Amino acid sequence: KVKEKVNSDYDSSSVREKRRLKLQSSYSEEFDAQCFEYVLNKMDKKQGLIGLDIGCADGYVTELRFKKEYPFDMVIGVDFNEKLIEKISQEDHGHFYYHQLDLEAKDFDDRIQAIMDEHEIEGFDVIFSALTLHHLKNPQRILMKLRKYLNRGGAIIIRGVDDGAMLAYDDGGLVEKILKETISFENVSDRFHGRKFYTMLCSLGYKDIQMRYQVDDTTHMTFEEREDFFHYYFDFRLSYTLRTLNKDPDNPLYQENHMKMQEMLDELEEKFMKPDFFFSTLTISAIGFK
Protein backbone atom coordinates (compact mmCIF):
# COMPACT_ATOMS: atom_id res chain seq x y z
CA LYS A 1 0.00 0.00 0.00
CA VAL A 2 1.51 3.30 -1.06
CA LYS A 3 0.44 5.91 1.47
CA GLU A 4 -0.78 9.14 -0.12
CA LYS A 5 -1.44 11.30 2.93
CA VAL A 6 1.18 11.69 5.59
CA ASN A 7 0.88 12.99 9.10
CA SER A 8 4.31 12.60 10.57
CA ASP A 9 5.03 13.93 14.07
CA TYR A 10 8.71 13.19 13.72
CA ASP A 11 11.15 15.01 16.05
CA SER A 12 14.79 15.29 14.97
CA SER A 13 16.04 16.96 18.15
CA SER A 14 16.49 13.90 20.39
CA VAL A 15 20.08 12.82 21.08
CA ARG A 16 19.40 9.34 19.69
CA GLU A 17 17.87 10.65 16.46
CA LYS A 18 20.64 13.22 15.97
CA ARG A 19 23.16 10.34 16.24
CA ARG A 20 21.20 8.29 13.71
CA LEU A 21 21.06 11.25 11.30
CA LYS A 22 24.84 11.63 11.50
CA LEU A 23 25.29 7.97 10.71
CA GLN A 24 22.80 8.26 7.88
CA SER A 25 24.68 11.25 6.52
CA SER A 26 27.95 9.33 6.35
CA TYR A 27 26.39 6.76 3.98
CA SER A 28 25.43 9.40 1.45
CA GLU A 29 28.36 11.83 1.67
CA GLU A 30 30.07 10.77 -1.56
CA PHE A 31 26.74 10.24 -3.32
CA ASP A 32 25.56 13.78 -2.47
CA ALA A 33 28.95 15.24 -3.45
CA GLN A 34 28.56 13.70 -6.91
CA CYS A 35 25.11 15.29 -7.25
CA PHE A 36 26.38 18.69 -6.12
CA GLU A 37 29.41 18.55 -8.42
CA TYR A 38 27.26 17.52 -11.39
CA VAL A 39 24.93 20.45 -10.76
CA LEU A 40 27.71 22.99 -10.17
CA ASN A 41 29.46 21.93 -13.39
CA LYS A 42 26.26 22.12 -15.41
CA MET A 43 25.10 25.52 -14.15
CA ASP A 44 26.16 28.62 -16.09
CA LYS A 45 26.55 30.68 -12.92
CA LYS A 46 29.89 29.84 -11.35
CA GLN A 47 30.26 32.33 -8.50
CA GLY A 48 28.30 34.04 -5.75
CA LEU A 49 25.81 31.18 -5.47
CA ILE A 50 23.01 31.13 -2.91
CA GLY A 51 21.95 27.79 -1.42
CA LEU A 52 18.91 26.61 0.50
CA ASP A 53 18.60 23.44 2.60
CA ILE A 54 15.04 22.37 3.27
CA GLY A 55 14.67 20.37 6.51
CA CYS A 56 18.21 21.18 7.69
CA ALA A 57 17.77 19.87 11.29
CA ASP A 58 20.85 21.07 13.26
CA GLY A 59 22.78 22.08 10.12
CA TYR A 60 25.20 19.16 10.39
CA VAL A 61 24.40 17.81 6.92
CA THR A 62 23.92 21.31 5.46
CA GLU A 63 27.47 22.33 6.22
CA LEU A 64 28.93 19.04 4.97
CA ARG A 65 27.01 19.08 1.69
CA PHE A 66 27.41 22.77 0.80
CA LYS A 67 31.17 22.36 1.07
CA LYS A 68 33.33 25.37 1.89
CA GLU A 69 35.22 24.93 -1.40
CA TYR A 70 32.02 25.27 -3.45
CA PRO A 71 31.28 28.81 -4.73
CA PHE A 72 28.44 29.64 -2.34
CA ASP A 73 28.30 33.14 -0.87
CA MET A 74 25.43 32.22 1.40
CA VAL A 75 23.54 29.10 2.42
CA ILE A 76 20.25 29.22 4.30
CA GLY A 77 18.92 26.26 6.23
CA VAL A 78 15.28 26.02 7.25
CA ASP A 79 13.52 23.57 9.54
CA PHE A 80 10.40 23.68 11.68
CA ASN A 81 12.13 22.27 14.75
CA GLU A 82 12.33 25.31 17.01
CA LYS A 83 14.72 23.75 19.53
CA LEU A 84 17.36 22.97 16.90
CA ILE A 85 17.04 26.24 15.02
CA GLU A 86 17.11 28.35 18.16
CA LYS A 87 20.38 26.73 19.20
CA ILE A 88 22.22 26.97 15.88
CA SER A 89 21.00 30.43 14.97
CA GLN A 90 22.63 31.74 18.16
CA GLU A 91 26.05 30.45 17.03
CA ASP A 92 28.31 31.88 14.33
CA HIS A 93 28.22 29.60 11.30
CA GLY A 94 30.00 31.91 8.86
CA HIS A 95 28.05 32.11 5.61
CA PHE A 96 25.45 29.56 6.86
CA TYR A 97 22.25 31.06 8.31
CA TYR A 98 19.38 29.15 9.90
CA HIS A 99 15.70 29.99 10.22
CA GLN A 100 12.72 28.30 11.74
CA LEU A 101 10.18 27.64 8.98
CA ASP A 102 7.30 25.23 8.61
CA LEU A 103 7.26 24.12 4.99
CA GLU A 104 3.54 23.46 5.32
CA ALA A 105 2.65 26.79 6.91
CA LYS A 106 -0.22 28.64 5.27
CA ASP A 107 1.97 31.76 5.12
CA PHE A 108 4.99 29.88 3.73
CA ASP A 109 5.41 32.37 0.86
CA ASP A 110 5.42 35.38 3.19
CA ARG A 111 7.80 33.66 5.57
CA ILE A 112 10.37 32.64 2.96
CA GLN A 113 10.10 36.04 1.30
CA ALA A 114 10.83 37.67 4.69
CA ILE A 115 13.92 35.46 5.08
CA MET A 116 15.08 36.39 1.58
CA ASP A 117 14.47 40.09 2.26
CA GLU A 118 16.41 39.87 5.51
CA HIS A 119 19.41 38.50 3.60
CA GLU A 120 18.82 40.76 0.59
CA ILE A 121 18.58 37.90 -1.88
CA GLU A 122 16.17 37.40 -4.75
CA GLY A 123 16.32 33.65 -5.20
CA PHE A 124 18.35 30.47 -4.75
CA ASP A 125 20.76 28.77 -7.15
CA VAL A 126 20.80 25.36 -5.50
CA ILE A 127 18.04 23.94 -3.31
CA PHE A 128 18.88 20.77 -1.44
CA SER A 129 16.63 18.54 0.62
CA ALA A 130 17.61 15.28 2.30
CA LEU A 131 15.11 12.90 3.88
CA THR A 132 12.53 15.58 4.52
CA LEU A 133 9.88 15.50 1.80
CA HIS A 134 8.42 12.22 3.10
CA HIS A 135 7.42 13.99 6.33
CA LEU A 136 5.16 16.40 4.46
CA LYS A 137 1.47 15.92 3.75
CA ASN A 138 1.88 17.43 0.30
CA PRO A 139 5.50 17.38 -0.90
CA GLN A 140 4.36 18.22 -4.43
CA ARG A 141 3.03 21.54 -3.18
CA ILE A 142 6.31 22.55 -1.55
CA LEU A 143 8.30 21.49 -4.63
CA MET A 144 5.99 23.69 -6.70
CA LYS A 145 6.47 26.62 -4.35
CA LEU A 146 10.24 26.16 -4.20
CA ARG A 147 10.50 26.32 -7.98
CA LYS A 148 9.32 29.95 -7.76
CA TYR A 149 12.28 30.82 -5.54
CA LEU A 150 14.82 28.98 -7.69
CA ASN A 151 16.81 31.25 -9.99
CA ARG A 152 16.61 30.49 -13.71
CA GLY A 153 19.30 27.91 -14.49
CA GLY A 154 19.31 26.86 -10.83
CA ALA A 155 18.89 23.28 -9.59
CA ILE A 156 17.13 21.25 -6.96
CA ILE A 157 18.59 18.08 -5.45
CA ILE A 158 16.26 15.88 -3.41
CA ARG A 159 17.37 12.73 -1.61
CA GLY A 160 15.28 10.06 0.03
CA VAL A 161 14.66 6.36 0.38
CA ASP A 162 11.90 3.92 -0.48
CA ASP A 163 11.06 0.92 1.66
CA GLY A 164 9.98 -0.93 -1.48
CA ALA A 165 13.63 -1.08 -2.55
CA MET A 166 14.63 -3.36 0.34
CA LEU A 167 15.75 -6.96 -0.22
CA ALA A 168 16.52 -9.38 2.59
CA TYR A 169 17.47 -13.07 2.83
CA ASP A 170 17.03 -15.24 4.85
CA ASP A 171 14.72 -13.29 7.12
CA GLY A 172 11.71 -15.61 6.90
CA GLY A 173 9.53 -12.68 5.77
CA LEU A 174 10.36 -10.61 8.86
CA VAL A 175 11.43 -7.47 6.97
CA GLU A 176 8.16 -7.46 5.05
CA LYS A 177 6.21 -7.89 8.30
CA ILE A 178 8.06 -4.97 9.91
CA LEU A 179 7.51 -2.74 6.88
CA LYS A 180 3.81 -3.62 6.82
CA GLU A 181 3.49 -2.90 10.53
CA THR A 182 5.38 0.40 10.14
CA ILE A 183 2.93 1.85 7.63
CA SER A 184 -0.10 0.91 9.69
CA PHE A 185 0.51 3.81 12.09
CA GLU A 186 -1.13 7.18 11.69
CA ASN A 187 1.93 9.27 12.45
CA VAL A 188 4.24 7.56 10.00
CA SER A 189 6.05 9.34 7.17
CA ASP A 190 5.67 8.26 3.53
CA ARG A 191 7.91 5.20 3.41
CA PHE A 192 7.51 4.95 -0.39
CA HIS A 193 8.49 8.42 -1.48
CA GLY A 194 11.66 7.73 -3.51
CA ARG A 195 9.65 6.29 -6.40
CA LYS A 196 7.64 9.52 -6.65
CA PHE A 197 10.56 11.92 -7.17
CA TYR A 198 10.71 11.74 -10.94
CA THR A 199 6.98 12.20 -11.48
CA MET A 200 6.78 15.06 -8.98
CA LEU A 201 9.64 17.06 -10.50
CA CYS A 202 8.54 16.32 -14.05
CA SER A 203 4.92 17.36 -13.48
CA LEU A 204 6.06 20.63 -11.90
CA GLY A 205 8.10 21.73 -14.90
CA TYR A 206 11.60 21.00 -13.62
CA LYS A 207 13.89 20.27 -16.59
CA ASP A 208 16.75 17.86 -17.37
CA ILE A 209 15.68 15.59 -14.54
CA GLN A 210 18.17 12.96 -13.56
CA MET A 211 17.58 10.07 -11.16
CA ARG A 212 20.51 8.69 -9.19
CA TYR A 213 20.77 5.61 -6.98
CA GLN A 214 23.20 4.31 -4.43
CA VAL A 215 23.04 0.63 -3.57
CA ASP A 216 24.06 -0.35 -0.04
CA ASP A 217 24.23 -3.97 1.06
CA THR A 218 25.55 -6.03 3.94
CA THR A 219 28.09 -8.05 1.94
CA HIS A 220 31.66 -7.18 3.03
CA MET A 221 30.39 -5.37 6.14
CA THR A 222 32.11 -5.88 9.48
CA PHE A 223 30.03 -6.76 12.54
CA GLU A 224 30.06 -3.11 13.63
CA GLU A 225 29.09 -1.88 10.17
CA ARG A 226 26.17 -4.30 10.10
CA GLU A 227 25.10 -3.03 13.51
CA ASP A 228 25.13 0.59 12.29
CA PHE A 229 23.38 -0.32 9.07
CA PHE A 230 20.61 -2.08 11.02
CA HIS A 231 20.14 0.92 13.28
CA TYR A 232 20.05 3.27 10.31
CA TYR A 233 17.27 1.38 8.53
CA PHE A 234 15.25 -0.15 11.36
CA ASP A 235 15.85 1.47 14.73
CA PHE A 236 13.61 4.49 14.20
CA ARG A 237 10.60 2.29 13.48
CA LEU A 238 10.25 1.70 17.18
CA SER A 239 9.77 5.43 17.71
CA TYR A 240 6.45 5.28 15.82
CA THR A 241 4.93 2.82 18.26
CA LEU A 242 6.59 4.57 21.20
CA ARG A 243 5.19 8.00 20.28
CA THR A 244 1.71 6.53 19.93
CA LEU A 245 2.08 4.77 23.27
CA ASN A 246 3.38 7.91 25.00
CA LYS A 247 0.20 9.75 24.04
CA ASP A 248 -1.96 7.11 25.74
CA PRO A 249 0.31 4.90 27.93
CA ASP A 250 -2.53 2.77 29.34
CA ASN A 251 -3.98 1.80 25.97
CA PRO A 252 -3.53 -2.01 25.75
CA LEU A 253 -3.52 -1.97 21.93
CA TYR A 254 -0.70 0.59 21.83
CA GLN A 255 1.21 -1.41 24.47
CA GLU A 256 0.83 -4.57 22.42
CA ASN A 257 1.85 -2.86 19.16
CA HIS A 258 4.96 -1.47 20.81
CA MET A 259 5.92 -4.81 22.29
CA LYS A 260 5.30 -6.59 18.99
CA MET A 261 7.50 -4.13 17.11
CA GLN A 262 10.24 -4.42 19.74
CA GLU A 263 10.18 -8.21 19.45
CA MET A 264 10.28 -8.19 15.65
CA LEU A 265 13.17 -5.72 15.62
CA ASP A 266 15.11 -7.77 18.19
CA GLU A 267 14.59 -10.90 16.12
CA LEU A 268 15.68 -9.14 12.93
CA GLU A 269 18.74 -7.65 14.61
CA GLU A 270 19.89 -11.12 15.59
CA LYS A 271 19.55 -12.34 12.00
CA PHE A 272 21.14 -9.19 10.64
CA MET A 273 24.34 -9.73 12.62
CA LYS A 274 25.00 -13.12 11.04
CA PRO A 275 27.66 -12.91 8.32
CA ASP A 276 25.58 -14.84 5.75
CA PHE A 277 22.49 -12.64 6.13
CA PHE A 278 21.83 -10.48 3.05
CA PHE A 279 20.18 -7.07 3.09
CA SER A 280 20.31 -4.43 0.39
CA THR A 281 18.55 -1.17 -0.29
CA LEU A 282 18.70 2.03 -2.33
CA THR A 283 19.27 5.67 -1.57
CA ILE A 284 17.45 7.65 -4.25
CA SER A 285 18.15 11.19 -5.45
CA ALA A 286 16.58 13.31 -8.13
CA ILE A 287 18.08 16.40 -9.71
CA GLY A 288 16.05 18.95 -11.65
CA PHE A 289 16.80 22.35 -13.20
CA LYS A 290 14.74 25.47 -13.81
Ligand X SMILES: C[S@@+](CC[C@H](N)C(=O)[O-])C[C@H]1O[C@@H](n2cnc3c(N)ncnc32)[C@H](O)[C@@H]1O
- Residue 250 DSSP one-character state: T
Span near ligand X by CB under 6 A; candidates 34-42, 75-83, 191-199, 261-269: 75-83
| Contact status: 85 vs ligand X (CB under 6 A) | no
| Contact status: 162 vs ligand X (CB under 6 A) | no
Span near ligand X by CB under 6 A; candidates 35-43, 125-133, 145-153, 273-281: 125-133
Tell me how crowded residue 80 is: count the other CB atoms within 10 A of its CB: 16
Residue 3: closest CA among 160, 142, 159, 136? 136
| Contact status: 157 vs ligand X (CB under 6 A) | no
| Contact status: 12 vs ligand X (CB under 6 A) | yes
Dist CA 227 CA 162 (whole Å): 20
| Contact status: 112 vs ligand X (CB under 6 A) | no
Q: What's the Cα-to-Cα distance from 99 to each of 8, 55, 81, 87, 205, rounded to whole Å?
A: 21, 10, 10, 11, 28
| Contact status: 151 vs ligand X (CB under 6 A) | no
Span near ligand X by CB under 6 A; candidates 76-84, 179-187, 261-269, 282-290: 76-84
Q: List Cβ neighbours of 214 (8 Å cut-off, separation of 6 or more).
A: 27, 28, 31, 282, 283, 285
Dist CA 165 CA 173 (whole Å): 15
CB of 25 to ligand X, least distance (A): 5
Nearer to ligand X, 130 or 175 (CB): 130
The contact set with ligand X (CB under 6 A) reads 12, 21, 25, 55-57, 61, 79-81, 102-104, 130-132, 135-136
